[in-house]
């Protein structure tokens, strides 16, 4: 999932989309209401891309958690985030069997499911194409014929005009 421009701001409900960088703040847009506002440097702003879930082995990025929920629900809505804590924990265990029960609280599970449902409802849960990931790992020059021409220009005699 591409979560780089989706933000959570402490003390604010819901999720926000990054719009622009201002002088002393960032401009954000509330995903549900569409209202734009400023998030100042005193606010704790976290990109969903930077959030991970503790597991017994290694931390699992939130995008991968969303992928697992997406696959389990076939792209549909997940369990209600206001369900009782026992049901939420059981549901989360089905998605991530090895999540750390000591470090991941029920409030964390509620928030993850709430965020997933919000993004799913708005159609913002788009899986990254495997081809795009492969392109970024092995970029192919757009025009390989341009490279030799640049080398030829650099080999001109000193003092010649270009």
Domain of residue 2, CATH code:
2.30.30.730
Same domain, 46 and 63: no
Query: CB of 73 within 8 A of CB of 121?
Result: no
**Can you give the pLDDT of all 162 residues of the chain as single tens digits?**
578 899 999 989 899 999 999 888 999 999 999 999 999 988 999 999 999 999 999 999 999 999 999 999 988 999 999 999 999 999 999 999 999 999 999 999 999 999 999 999 998 887 655 544 444 455 554 444 444 444 444 444 555 454
Same domain, 55 and 115: yes
For the full predicted model, state whether its pTM sits above 0.85. no
Residue 137 lies in a domain: no
Instruction: Give, rounded to a whole angstrom, the gap between the first and last alpha carbons of the chain.
Output: 48
Residue 62 buriedness (CB in 10 A; 0-12 / 13-18 / 19+): buried
Residue 149 lies in a domain: no
The domain containing residue 110 runs over which residues?
51-127
Same domain, 57 and 43: no
């Amino acid at each position: 999932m591409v979560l780089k421009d989706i933000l959570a701001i402490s003390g604010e409900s819901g999720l926000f989309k990054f719009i622009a960088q201002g002088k002393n703040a960032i401009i954000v847009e509330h995903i549900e209401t569409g209202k734009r506002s400023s998030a100042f440097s005193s606010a704790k702003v976290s990109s969903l891309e930077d959030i991970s879930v503790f597991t017994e082995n290694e931390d699992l990025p939130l995008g991968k958690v969303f992928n697992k929920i997406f696959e389990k629900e076939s792209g549909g809505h997940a369990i209600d985030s206001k369900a009782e804590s026992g049901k939420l924990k059981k549901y989360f265990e089905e998605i991530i069997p090895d999540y750390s029960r000591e470090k991941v609280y029920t409030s964390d599970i509620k928030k993850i499911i709430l965020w997933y449902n919000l993004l799913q409802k708005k159609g913002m849960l788009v899986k990254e194409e495997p081809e795009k990931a492969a392109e970024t790992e092995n970029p192919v020059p757009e025009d390989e014929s341009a490279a030799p021409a640049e080398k030829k220009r650099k080999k001109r005699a000193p003092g010649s005009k270009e």
